[in-house]
Structure 1
Amino acid sequence: MHTDLVAALDIGGTKIAGALVDGGGRLLVRAQRPTPARAGAADRVGAAVTEVLDELSAAADWPRAGAVGIGSAGPVDAKAGSVSPVNIPAWRDYPLVAQVRERAGGLPVTLVGDGVAIAAAEHWQGAARGRSDALCMVVSTGVGGGLVLGGQLHPGPTGNAGHIGHISVDMNGGICACGSRGCVESLASGPSIARYAGEAGWSPAPGDEASAAAVAASARAGDLVAIAAFDRAARALAAGIAATATLVEIEIAVIGGGVAGAGEVLFAPLRRELGRYATLSFVQGLEVVPAQMGTDAGLVGAAAACWKLLEDGGGTGGGGTGGR
């Protein structure tokens, strides 16, 4: 059988997306469902995954797919093939790989965290292409990340390495959704930015929602509270990035996600704050740049991990990890 495509799934708190992807990273067939907003039972979310897979498998090109790659909100457990996303409360130790493998006709399946998938995408096709050591992040409803070390994706034993959103940067900070205190995500995610601004007296323009995008618009217009909200987020991100760079010596940090869409409203204070935190000689040259892969990063990254699985000989274990 001619297998020159892979299937990719991108699973998050807002949407469950799927695609058939070729060896050049092109998405040939797409399917998408919203993640059930009030998923009181795990099977409601699982049904959405099944619907996406059924739509992909009905495509004429499906027989060309040799494996399935999954990038999921985490934590994930690639060894067990299960997921427990913080932002999908109905799923705890959910056996996602087994479900996908069964629905995909027994194809080999690989599972990585969504931040690892984004790192794989940016290293394969985006802003980290050609770089040996990189941190790639998504700053959106949550904050995640993945690492490229020595020119290879580094997912770690369970597929979660590089999860910078849950590095604590404020030991006296508030409780994060993960249970720890003062995590980067609790300070720099989109909802955190909007909440902080609202508590400080900011309000969106009439007809707009209280979102990070609305706060960014106010910051561009010179609203001091909105500017302070992004400065606070930038400080948390800078502290987390500097800690990561000090630990593993990355040369570039790539930042994508909805909050990164604020542009210089985020990146200008981030670069300034990074100068305060990345002080040792071997991290002072660290670059911070916007991501290039956009909303397709999760799918492209899941495909990249999947191609690596095939290059390494495939397999149908509980879960696998890898990078393009």
Structure 2
Amino acid sequence: MHTDLVAALDIGGTKIAGALVDGHGRILLRAQRPTPAKEDGGTVMRAVEDVIGELAVSPLWSRATALGIGSAGPVDASAGTVSPVNVPGWRGYPLVERASEAAGGLPVELIGDGVAITAAEHWQGAARGHDNALCMVVSTGVGGGLVLNGQLHAGPTGNAGHIGHISVDLDGDLCPCGSRGCVERIASGPNIARRALEEGWRPGPGGDASAAAVAEAARAGDPVAVASFERAAQALAAGIAATATLVEIDIAVIGGGVGKAGDVLFAPLRRALDDYATLSFVRRLTVAPALMGTDAGLVGAAAAALTRRPRTAGAHV
């Protein structure tokens, strides 16, 4: 009997999504509000409370046994706090305590958004059946998460697997995080576009200067656009290979907007992996596009809530 039901929240800089999710990963009910990202912390929390409140009026709510939250980071699961970069009103904000109050005292499981997407891909998506996996989100930033020995490995604060801030260029550009030459500084969407523009690529008549536009130009054979994606692929390959060498993953799953570029990204990425993943135990490493789409954060937050509780039946993430 899969009677388990959990509430899930996916909190980002643009939207706060909520859902009731069953033990098979099916979304039974959803609610959403825009994130008032520029407002004070209390205003942002009221949007979260509105989403929880909309779920709580459903007759299904009484079956919910926990609330899983995947949040933009940094998060600190050990302290129950969040400090999302793009929500300045929340700095060390006690989200776990406040969300539990709003949810009538339900236990809360907090993880970073990269870890949430990893949980979803392992439970229902491209990493299903793999006991050791790295899942990455390559979009405005570069985040990620790990599955080790068949278990989501969130780490003490919920940030393990944050591959975007592995340094792959020792003397590279300063990253906003304070380090140099981070994967994110080379491979994120805005940085792919920035590099292409610096090297002389020009957007078309519509003026679209996004990474998606660079990908389109690369598909059409523009050499500067191709080179920008090759550089991003090289940075991703170096980070993936370092991770695989350290913890022996056998698949790397790539999602996010940049992951949708298809062969423009994956062809040079697979070539570059041959250069970096050279030891015998990492040579079989495969790379695959993510499958979960826009619900990944919600499904992953639900997965964390379902699997972190003792005596859970039904969901084995």
**Which segment drifts farther, 227-236 or 204-213?**
204-213
Which position in structure 1 is the counterpart of 2:65?
A: 66
Which position in structure 1 is the counterpart of 2:266?
A: 267
Alpha-carbon contact 1:3-1:65 (below 8 Å) kept: no
* 1:265-288 Cα deviation digits (max 9, x unpaired): 110111111111111111111100
Distance 1:22 1:81 in 2: 24
Alpha-carbon contact 2:131-2:149 (below 8 Å) kept: yes
Once the two structures are TM-superposed, the CA of residue 226 in structure 1 deviates from its matched residue by 1.1
Which position in structure 1 is the counterpart of 2:252?
A: 253
Report SS of the residue matched to 2:70: strand
Distance 1:48 1:207 in 2: 35
Alpha-carbon contact 1:234-1:269 (below 8 Å) kept: yes
Give % identity: 73
Which position in structure 2 is the counterpart of 1:30?
A: 30
* 1:102-141 Cα deviation digits (max 9, x unpaired): 1101001000111111111111111111111110111111
Report SS of the residue matched to 2:170: coil
Distance 2:84 2:140 in 1: 13
Distance 1:88 1:180 in 2: 22
* 1:242-294 Cα deviation digits (max 9, x unpaired): 10001001111011111101011110111111111111111111100111111
Which position in structure 2 is the counterpart of 1:316?
A: none
Which position in structure 2 is the counterpart of 1:132?
A: 131
Which position in structure 2 is the counterpart of 1:318?
A: none
Which position in structure 2 is the counterpart of 1:238?
A: 237
Alpha-carbon contact 1:153-1:323 (below 8 Å) kept: no
Alpha-carbon contact 2:244-2:282 (below 8 Å) kept: yes
Which position in structure 2 is the counterpart of 1:192?
A: 191
Which position in structure 2 is the counterpart of 1:296?
A: 295
Q: What is the TM-score when the length of structure 1 is the normalising length?
A: 0.92
Report SS of the residue matched to 2:305: helix
Q: Which amino acid aligns with 1:33?
A: R
Distance 2:316 2:144 in 1: 14
Relative to structure 1, is the Cα distance of residues 251 and 260 closer, same or farther in structure 2, using a 3 angstrom cutoff? Answer: same
Distance 2:57 2:272 in 1: 50
* 1:35-63 Cα deviation digits (max 9, x unpaired): 235x1522332232222222222333222
Q: Which amino acid aligns with 2:91?
A: R
State the superposition RMSD in angstroms.
1.8
1:41-190 correspondence to structure 2 within 5 Å: 41-190=40-189
Alpha-carbon contact 1:17-1:30 (below 8 Å) kept: yes
Gaps of 5+ in 2: none
Alpha-carbon contact 1:31-1:55 (below 8 Å) kept: yes
Once the two structures are TM-superposed, the CA of residue 31 in structure 1 deviates from its matched residue by 1.5
Q: Which amino acid aligns with 1:35?
A: T
Query: After TM superposition, what 4+ stretches of structure 1 lie above 4 angstroms from structure 2?
Result: none
Gaps of 5+ in 1: 314-321
Q: What is the TM-score when the length of structure 2 is the normalising length?
A: 0.94
* 1:196-230 Cα deviation digits (max 9, x unpaired): 11222223222253211111111111111111111
Distance 1:44 1:171 in 2: 41
Which position in structure 2 is the counterpart of 1:10?
A: 10
Distance 1:201 1:312 in 2: 58
